[in-house]
Amino acid sequence: MAAKAGDNPDSLMTLATVFCLRNLRKTMCYQGFRNKLCLRSDIFLPSEICDKLVNTYMELVHTDSNFEPVESFFQLFSDPRTTRLTRVQLREDFVRDRDLEAIRKQDLIELHLTYCNNLSSRSLKTLTCFRETLVSLCLFGCNHIFYRNAGAPLACNEDTEDEEESPALETDFNFQGFNRLRLLNLGGLPEEVNAETLLKPLKSLTSLDLSNVQLLGTTFLTQWKDRLASLVLYNVDLSEELVNTMFELVNLRHLDISRESRRSSKFKMTRKTLTAIVQRLLNLVSLDISGHIMLDNCTVPHFEEAMGRPSIEPCKSSIYPFQELKRPLQFLGLYDTTLCNVTHIPAYKVLEVTPFAGHSAMILHIMLITVFHFIPVNLFSSFQLVIAALKCHKYDKSIQVTGSAALFYLTNTDYRSDQSVRLRREVIQVVLNGMEQYQEVTVQRNCCLTLCNFSIPEELEFQYSRVNQLLLKILEPARQDESIQRIAVHLCNALVCQVDNHHKEAVGKMGFVKTMLNLIQKKLQDRMCDQVMEFSWSALWNITDETPDNCQMFLNCRGMSLFLDCLQEFPDKQELHRNMLGLLGNVAEVKVLRPQLLTPQFITVFSNLLDSKADGIEVSYNACGVLSHIMFDGPEVWSMEEPRREIVMKKMWDAIQSWDVSSRRNINYRSFEPILRLLPQSISPVSQHWATWALYNLVSVYPSKYCPLLIKEGGVNLLEKVLELESSQPETKDMARKVMEQCENFKEDPMETNHAQEVNYGQRG
């Protein structure tokens, strides 16, 4: 059998690391003074293990809702005599100044800090502790690290004037002493910070990323003209001075001067500038000029282009300046320029790069678009690209919108058979992260649609609580986007269908019942019975199935009032009536709640619905089921004068007699227990008859599904007792015998297929 995408198992190292992090107190640590977690005295961990522990810990914190962060986790790595850290990647607001200070004695070689907005200039001072060993440093998106007291609250006393309490630019820090630093990413450096002053002490840089940085002067870049191999100036305003400075960096192999959009660019890329790049920067293998305004004289007229198939040979290039290349580029970024429409482009890869923090978000955007065209070619690589992009650019709208759309297509059923369980779980985590962190309509819609591509609830069960909480949060606003609301309610309904009762109870406590009733109330106000209305009632039917607490919540939240209002407002909506009556059947199964249904108004409504022909027999059947459970409590609880109990029972008998016992059902029973309890009794023969009819219908129409269930739950023995009771009506006894015969025949020939074709069942409740 061919391996599925993402099917490679986790390494033993990864499995052991995750296990240790989930069980720190049982593996590496003990509970110290004031419950502080301490490393055991007999532990010594080399850098390979420590790096893996810290980086995996960060991943779990951000992607696994079941993982509990540990207070002072980084303190475990404070002593280099017992733990060694060399390569650490920390990201987002979870990271604090004290976390970096905890590891200040470590000899770090690589430190990547991405979007760590809770870091202040205290962390700049901590960075100096690593200056003798640090080779690679990333501060991408760490906007507050260059300010003192960036995270400190202002003084509560308005009369107190303490300048130290408000954020102030840190002016004392530079990279003096970072002699080994080779790779530096300062993407998003605040405009108040002078990049030249900050960087001047660095003598040995080979890679520099200044994305989204405003440069006051540019000549300082020439101090690395003999060493710099990679320069990223994404979204940096180009000028003649900066371009001329670039030409002096003759050892550049990678140059990114792309922009987010042509609309924000004042600089025009000319044929002369492109020619100079080719002629002066002879070592270039990668060039990104996306998003620039290109003058028309850069391209060869269509009628003069080389004939034949598209070629990457520089001499055939449709772009004049690139005809002078000695060899094709490895990568050429031309997105959002007029040059991307030409025939011959001298590059092995056009608009295809590996995403990393700080890279051109616009190029990633187009890369995600190309995923739609190359899914069949390399499914796993497509997944890797999209997942990495969404993780690294969680605050970029274009990436989140396009990436979430790409995941929808990647998880489509056409490609599903090629995807491993592990890969699909990783996608679910990324989708839920997007729903959690990016409250934008298109992203929310794409994420919800992507979840619809999974088997629900089976594939989402490992994140059951989290996904329900997110969906309920989406449905909270009174005026939610209509399409998102419809998809979210559909998902909610699917998630509470065919799951264990403890799942339903947990979701009920999250406010599920109240949220659905709020949606119903809103639709009633708008006098609109649409899919949201019907799905909401269906979801309530599902979540109350054999779950008394949720049935009680329904009654407490004025559910019966909404039921009556919906019946009155939408008298001809058959699907709605079926869902509502199915839900009330669940409520009626709870003995302590039945007295709340025993009012003249409700009994009259249920009695009238016995005559309904809506949805075949379903509405009449469910109404009779509600009344059967009420009748089962005996005549002594029937305290009302009208309607009389005997009259209602007569109507129930007449309704049951009118049903076609071969009716195919839009219903699904997981257990017969609520029906079986109505069999061996003489208080209400009509309830007994309804239960026997229900069993006969199900085992005769769907024998392969329901005969085993009835036998397993002891239904045959209870039917024998029905035959023994004098109070049982002849019609009931006759039907009980037919049910027993059907089960006996099935036991003798379990492969029987007569009338056994399955349908798409609705949930019973």
Residue 280, domain member (yes or no) = no
Is the Cβ–Cβ distance between 513 and 540 less than 8 Å? yes
Structural domain including 71 reads 28-148
Q: What one-letter code names the amino acid at 21?
A: L
Write out 719-754 in H/E/C secondary structure: HHHHHHCCCCCHHHHHHHHHHHHHHHHHHHCCCCCC
Helix (H) or strand (E) holding 280: helix 271-280
Strand duo 29-31 + 37-39: pairing: antiparallel
Residues 6 or more apart in contact with residue 26 via CB below 8 angstroms: none
Q: How far apart are CA 397 and CA 245, in angstroms?
A: 33
Extract the residue ranges of the chain whose pLDDT is less than 50.
Answer: 1, 152-164, 352-363, 366, 372-377, 752-765
Query: Could you tell me the CATH number of the domain that includes residue 719?
Result: 1.25.10
Residue 101, domain member (yes or no) = yes
Is the Cβ–Cβ distance between 215 and 239 less than 8 Å? no
For 598-618, the pLDDT digits (tens) are: 999 999 999 999 988 877 888
Q: How far apart are CA 694 and CA 691, in angstroms?
A: 5
Q: How far apart are CA 445 and CA 447, in angstroms?
A: 5
Any alpha helices (H) in 496-644, and if so which ranges?
501-509, 512-525, 531-543, 548-556, 559-569, 574-588, 600-609, 618-631
Backbone angles phi, psi at 738, to 5 degrees: -65, -35
Residue 310, Ramachandran bin (φ over 0: left; ψ between -120 and 50: alpha; else beta): beta
Encoded tokens for 663? 């009716």
Residue 136, domain member (yes or no) = yes
Residue 611, domain member (yes or no) = yes
Backbone angles phi, psi at 479, to 5 degrees: -120, 75
Residue 141, domain member (yes or no) = yes
Nearest to 553 by CA among 503, 512, 605, 501: 512
Burial 504-538 (b: 16+ CB within 10 A, else e): beebbeebbbbbbbbbbbbbbeeeebeebbbbbbb
Encoded tokens for 528? 């609109």
Q: How far apart are CA 226 and CA 223, in angstroms?
A: 8
Backbone angles phi, psi at 440, to 5 degrees: -130, 140
Residue 236, domain member (yes or no) = no
Last residue within a domain, chosen from 148, 171, 186: 148
Is the Cβ–Cβ distance between 225 and 247 less than 8 Å? no
User: Where do we find the tokens 């295809």?
Assistant: 352
User: Where do we find the tokens 């993780």?
Assistant: 391
As a residue count, the chain comes to 765
Q: Work out the number of other CB atoms within 10 angstroms of the CB of residue 260.
A: 20
Nearest to 752 by CA among 704, 687, 715, 717: 704
Q: What total of structural domains would you count in the chain?
A: 2
Nearest to 482 by CA among 441, 514, 517, 447: 441
Residue 127, domain member (yes or no) = yes
Backbone angles phi, psi at 579, to 5 degrees: -65, -40
Residue 734, domain member (yes or no) = yes
Q: How far apart are CA 271 and CA 100, in angstroms?
A: 48
Last residue within a domain, chosen from 130, 148, 166: 148
Nearest to 690 by CA among 654, 637, 726: 654
Predicted TM-score (pTM) of the model is 0.69
For 685-718, the pLDDT digits (tens) are: 999 999 999 999 999 998 888 899 999 989 899 9
Q: How far apart are CA 457 and CA 53, in angstroms?
A: 32
Encoded tokens for 537? 């009632």
Last residue within a domain, chosen from 148, 165, 197: 148
